[in-house]
Structure 1
Amino acid sequence: MENTEIEILLVEDNRNDAELTIRALTKGKIANSIVHLQDGAMAINFLFGLGDFAHRNINNRPKIILLDLKMPKVDGLEVLKKIKSDDLTKKIPVVILTSSKENPDIERAYALGANSYIVKPVEFDSFAKSISDLGFYWLLLNQNPY
């Protein structure tokens, strides 16, 4: 995996949501390389080459991070804060992909530097289309700074 470009880092603790997201992205041929991590602590370790990921080349950054908010160990807002406060990672687009429609979560996510905030649709077809559209925009249309 070391030499493989990471297109999407998916940080999602809900296995069903993660599987649906990955399926929607691969079905639409949007992403060839998706790394799925199940909690915020793993995401921080992955991005900064810590713990189990100490061997990883941290210059191999994802093109986009899809980040859930409500997760065990370290929640998504803490992960976002860490990502956006470090020169190595602050330019990576972070899309919050969550079930939380709570205004304080939305405001805090944007205040911490989120690039987008999307509430997961409950219905499968809507969810799959949202993910496909999201991947299309961030991976194919958006111009990344590196």
Structure 2
Amino acid sequence: MPQVRPLTILLAEDNIDHAELIVETLKEFNIGNDIKHVTNGEQVLDYLQSKPPFDAATYSKPDLILLDLKMPRLDGKGTLQQIRQLNGYKNTPVVMVSTSSTDADIDECYNLGANSYITKPLQFEEFTRKIRELNLYWVLTAELPTSSPK
């Protein structure tokens, strides 16, 4: 099996149960993953711009952003739109994670610059399988953009 490199992953998920399951599954597959969890779109933008409490020394630039579609304060679509306008984040992979499987949501997210869109299945086993496969793809298959300083 090829070398599994750790990723810095920014997870934006307001449902604590979903967040814990995602973090646990990502760590189970690749213990070296550095996963930072926030609960709304405003925190994502603060993190990416190193605004307090997210100082650049502690919170490194993510290799991958997992973005829930329906969050308080600023939803996933609005957050994605603003991420794509930030210097240094135009090419950072963003995966939308949602319970919604409507064509309108999926199409809009891709039009706003999402790199992938996955739906959250209701069954625990199916949900963890999708997260494992997502991690496998971004760790072993995809070539990520080279990181530039924040």
Q: TM-score, normalised by structure 1?
A: 0.89
Partner of 1:39: 40
SS at match of 1:121: coil
Other-structure match for 1:14: 15
Q: Is the 8 A contact 1:94 1:114 kept in 2?
A: yes
> Cα offset for 1:39?
0.8
- For 2:34 and 2:58, the matched residues in 1 are separated by 16
Is the partner of 2:90 in helix, strand or coil?
A: coil
**Aligned twin of 2:69:** 69
Structure 1: gaps spanning 5 or more residues = none
Q: How do 1:20-99 and structure 2 match up within 5 A?
A: 20-29=21-30, 31-53=32-54, 55-57=55-57, 60-99=60-99
Report how many residues are paired. Answer: 141
Aligned AA (1:44): L
- Given residue 84 of structure 2, which amino acid in structure 1 is its aligned partner? K
SS in 1 for 2:65: strand
Structure 1 residues 39, 143: CA separation in 2 closer, same or farther (over 3 Å shift)?
A: same
User: Alpha carbons of 1:6 and 1:132: their partners in 2 closer, same or farther (altered >3 Å)?
Assistant: closer
Moved more, 78-87 or 29-38: 29-38
2:124 paired with 1:134: no
Corresponding letter in the other structure for 1:92: T
Which residue matches 2:117?
Answer: 117
Native 8 Å contact 1:7 1:139 kept in 2: no
Provide the rounded CA distance (Å) in 2 between the counterparts of 1:133 and 1:30.
15
Question: After superposition, what is the alpha-carbon deviation per residue over 1:94-119, rounded to whole angstroms, capped at 9, x for unaligned?
Answer: 00011011222111100000000100
Deviation at 1:122, TM superposition (A): 0.8
Give % identity.
Answer: 39
Q: Please state how far the C-alpha of 1:58 moved relative to its aligned partner.
A: 9.8
**Partner residue, 2:106:** 106
Is the CA contact (8 Å cut-off) linking 1:64 and 1:92 kept in structure 2? Answer: yes
Q: CA RMSD in A?
A: 1.9
Moved segments of 4+, more than 4 Å:
none
Q: Which stretch shifts more, 67-76 or 26-35?
A: 26-35
For 1:100, the aligned partner's letter is: S
How far is 1:64 from its partner? 0.5
